[in-house]
Structure 1
Amino acid sequence: MSFGRTDTSILGRWWWTVDRWTIAALLTLAGIGLLLTMAASPAVADRIGAEPFHFIRRQFIFLVPALTVMLAVSLMSPRQVRRLGVIGFGAALVLLVAVLFLAPEVKGSTRWLNLAGISIQPSEFVKPTFAIVSAWMFAESRLNPGFPGRAVACGLFALTALLLLKQPDVGQTLVVTAIWGTQFFLAGLPIVLVVALGALAAVGAVGAYIIFPHVQSRIDRFVDPSAGDGTYQVTTALNALKSGGLFGRGPGEGRVKLVLPDAHTDFILAVAGEEFGIILCLAVLALFAFVVLRGLTRVMHEENLFVVLASAGLLVQFGLQAIVNMASTLRLMPTKGMTLPFISYGGSSMLALALAMGMLLALTRKRYGSEEFER
């Protein structure tokens, strides 16, 4: 693709204002994800009685529209991103409510809706859209002191967290809390409230441990692996990483995918380490770090508060989700079923992350020209 600098068409202006390095990093992650899905999923498909390329085909089917969504959304102005976020957040909340009444219970949780034969996890879509709406409310509160933006943002956070905990999904609640807390802090949260909310977060963590048996079980097993037999997947994943060494055992030579039920999703990093070595794992880590740091650099001198807050929220979601997945695999934190962005198998996660990164690309474009594009 090539456009002259004098090209004033929508695509021409997009090409010279969008962060092409971030796009390249995200496409590289998606390519690595396809490679690892091809390595990990045939064994999983065989265990459930599906044909060998079942997950590979579905991953590709979701990846194409996901990348299309990402690039299409990146064409938007900040104002259009804000409108999309409001509409998407409203739809996500409706689906979160529907989940409580219509979704089947799986492993003690109700998180998935079946719409027209497609399984959708609404909590994946609520994260990026919440980041946009919350950023808008905090920004309006600063720009218009009489507008109750902070109160609205706090109310929307409480509603979202309540709906997520009713499923229950403590992990997604943690991510939404991190998004909201980061934006509140950047919007000028007084230091007294910073301390108060920090203490409240600690109380909430203790409450989750007491209220939710699965949270208690995971933390107990993390602190004392001998407390139960639920450490099998983590122990197996660590052994796979050790056996892979620096350069791996070679494509197709891994064994962890033959025994781990979640080798293509939560523990796909173990497959990467065993077959392609620590080198690939470090490359993946570097790509995630690059996207986050590059995004923060792009908004460092931004004057539009909404753009700063929304970008920060989207980057926190992206980076935290990657950290949780990798840290769980390496037993640096209690296990939490959270996908590795653009790499793990999963349609809802892929589409929601593509939406989030499309919004980020749109918000971090160099803005000049018309008022609509500026704002």
Structure 2
Amino acid sequence: MIRLARTNRSLIAEWWWTVDKWTLLMLVCLMIVGGVLALAASPAVAMRIHLPPFYFVYKQLAFFVPAIVVLIGVSLLNVRQVRRAAALVFAVAFVLMALTPVLGQEVKGAHRWLQLGPVGIQPSEFVKPAFIVLVAWLFAEAQRTPGIPGTALAVALYGMVVAVLAVQPDFGQLMLVTLVFGAMFFMAGLSWGWIGSLAVIAVAGAITAYSMMPHVASRVDRFLDPESGDTYQIDRALDAVNAGGLFGRGPGEGVVKRILPDAHTDFIFAVAAEEYG
């Protein structure tokens, strides 16, 4: 039996005494909450598309173990190893992400997924954490060593990522990456000139997307004027929230979730509101 005393210099002991235990606990709690919500939301959807009731639940649970392994494995790395891992993950995932418009499966008008044997992956989900680590490193290097063009390289990485996301198209991820990058840009203490330039580019990109892509224009129009298009799923999500009230119907007692098309993915919060309040 391994004793995790402070004098123990083994890898596991060093990890235990240096890891942020509150963050670790919160991550585990998030995983458990995700499993509970999958159990609440997905059976109705699975049966509606002629799959076993707990198909999505088992799929969620199947990824718990590798997720924990990756989480703990990365936390064992030092800063330099994390940067190297991020660079490797970004390079591989970016290439795969660039291939999705050509080789990816079309889902609801977009090519965001690649089928690798029996497993389907969304490369952009791997690009995001690696991108954040690399951009943070580049911003830090730009502050530490003025001769290194860290800021320009970070902006170049951002441009590469958003360009591919726009081609897929995946404007949800594009906006998320833009918001995170903008926040990091601001926290890095860079000049208002850089920040203003990024803001102008973001506004110009949004106007271009609205003008040239009907899918984006339709979503914006429906948000501003619900009567301008189909809002069935939004309406049902609001019905679920209203039905749950303050305290919810109770675990497994949701009714509106049975007719909510994406109850197990984009609208899972509506299921949580209906059942848990």
Say yes or no: TM over 0.5: yes
Q: 1:82 aligns to what?
A: 83
Aligned-residue offset at 1:2: 6.9
Label 1:2 to 1:46 Cα distance change in 2 as closer, same or farther (>3 A).
farther
Q: 1:47 aligns to what?
A: 48
Of 268-277 and 195-204, the range deviating more from structure 2: 195-204
Contact 2:185-2:195 within 8 A present in 1 as well: no
**What SS does the corresponding residue of 2:105 show, helix, strand or coil?**
coil
Aligned-residue offset at 1:205: 1.6
TM-score (norm 2): 0.95
* Fraction of identical pairs, as percent: 51
Q: 2:248 aligns to what?
A: 248
Q: 2:62 aligns to what?
A: 61
State the AA in 1 paired with 2:266: D
Larger CA Rg, structure 1 vs 2: 2
Aligned-residue offset at 1:184: 2.4
Q: Unpaired segments of 5 or more residues in structure 2?
A: none
Label 1:192 to 1:151 Cα distance change in 2 as closer, same or farther (>3 A).
closer
Per-residue CA shift, 1:318-345, capped at 9, x if unaligned? xxxxxxxxxxxxxxxxxxxxxxxxxxxx
Q: Unpaired segments of 5 or more residues in structure 1?
A: 278-375
Tell me, yes or no, if structure 1 residue 168 matches structure 2 residue 163.
Answer: no
Compute the RMSD of aligned alpha carbons: 1.5
Matches of 1:31 and 1:85, distance apart in 2:
26
Of 137-146 and 82-91, the range deviating more from structure 2: 137-146
TM-score (norm 1): 0.71
Tell me, yes or no, if structure 1 residue 262 matches structure 2 residue 262.
Answer: yes
**What SS does the corresponding residue of 1:264 show, helix, strand or coil?**
coil
Aligned-residue offset at 1:256: 2.0
**What SS does the corresponding residue of 1:193 show, helix, strand or coil?**
helix
Matches of 2:175 and 2:110, distance apart in 1:
16
Matches of 1:142 and 1:211, distance apart in 2:
38
Matches of 1:238 and 1:2, distance apart in 2:
52
Matches of 2:194 and 2:113, distance apart in 1:
36
Aligned-residue offset at 1:176: 1.7
Question: Which 4+ runs in 1 deviate beyond 3 A?
Answer: none
Matches of 2:267 and 2:63, distance apart in 1:
20
Aligned length: 276
Matches of 1:98 and 1:66, distance apart in 2:
25
- Where relative contact order (Cα < 8 A, 6+ residues apart) is larger, the structure is 1
Q: 2:160 aligns to what?
A: 159
Contact 1:256-1:270 within 8 A present in 2 as well: no
**What SS does the corresponding residue of 1:76 show, helix, strand or coil?**
coil
Per-residue CA shift, 1:233-269, capped at 9, x if unaligned? 1111111111111221112211122101110111111
